[in-house]
Structure 1
């Protein structure tokens, strides 16, 4: 008879997100994971598989969480400009307990070149964000708030690139005023 799990799988996966986010994939040892997740090594292998399999589950969870947060931030806003600004400012001014920056961006830099599965997960998550931006831009054009002088798909790609850059910059830039200036200048492209 199989033993029932003595831990909440979702909770432990959330702890794995934090460990990988803080340390990166390569620097995280199995012992770091066992300690950070608060479970036995055998339980980790039985539940999540090897380190790489666990990391893919972590990326999936993280991407879903980020996507959900972004969608909920802009839900119900009638102004496309305000919605897009809110997405940028949420990244610049995140003072929550989680690490600075973005696990997806970290993965793109650390693993994407030599790990096709990680690259595909990151690309999918990035496309989700780009599609959200494109949808907001199209809504802004349809309402007359935004000019039709740009292609929404091209502008979404541009804004997403800036958003990724901001996710990197927040790891090293403590000056909130400087971050705000960067956001303001980036979003002038919508005028």
Structure 2
């Protein structure tokens, strides 16, 4: 009879997510995952099958949490410009406890070109975020708040956020990030 698990799997996935977010898939060793999660190598492989399986779970967790926050914001009160400002400032004033950049953007660059599973995961997540932004821009257009193409505006916001995340990961200052975000807001 197998021994019962004596750890919180969700907490382990969260810790692994932060490790992968910080150093990427290739840059995160099994030792790094053991250190981050507090689990031994055998516990990691008994629970998650492989490093890739754990990465998939960590990326899914990251996307679910981040996309849920976006959907909640877009469904709430306020103008679309106020909502986009909030989205941009999530990067400009990122939580100091979080690694720099975006785990999804990192996965797109590092793995998606040659990993069909990761490519599909990020494509599905992007489709959800794109649809929510497009709907918010469409509602704003119908209300006379904006007059641009909702699809292109949604894609512009996603591209800007991705670019801001890369800039943040590359070490750009808060002032530079805020300047980019302000230019993007004026483009709406």
TM-score range for the pair, normalised by the shorter chain length: over 0.9
Equivalent residues of 2:73, 2:83 under 8 A apart: yes
> For residues 96 and 77 of structure 1, do their structure 2 counterparts lie closer, same or farther at Cα, with a shift above 3 Å needed?
farther
What's the CA shift for 1:173?
4.1
Q: How does 1:109-148 map to 2 (within 5 A)?
A: 109-147=109-147
TM-score (norm 1): 0.92
Structure-2 separation of matches of 1:177 and 1:32: 33
Structure-2 separation of matches of 1:29 and 1:142: 50
Aligned partner of 1:87 in structure 2 is: 87
* 1:104-134 deviation per Cα after TM superposition (whole angstroms, max 9, x unaligned): 1011111111111111111222222222211
Structure-2 separation of matches of 1:151 and 1:6: 52
TM-score (norm 2): 0.93
Structure 2 unaligned blocks of 5 or more: none
In terms of mean alpha carbon deviation, does 101-110 or 151-160 score higher?
Answer: 151-160
Q: Tell me which of 162, 166, 175 is aligned to 2:164.
A: 166
Structure-1 separation of matches of 2:76 and 2:49: 40
Pairing 1:187–2:185 present:
yes
What's the CA shift for 1:77?
2.0
Backbone CA RMSD of aligned residues: 1.5
Structure-1 separation of matches of 2:118 and 2:61: 13
Equivalent residues of 2:74, 2:133 under 8 A apart: no
Which stretches of structure 1, 4 residues or more, deviate above 4 A after TM superposition? none
Structure-1 separation of matches of 2:172 and 2:111: 27
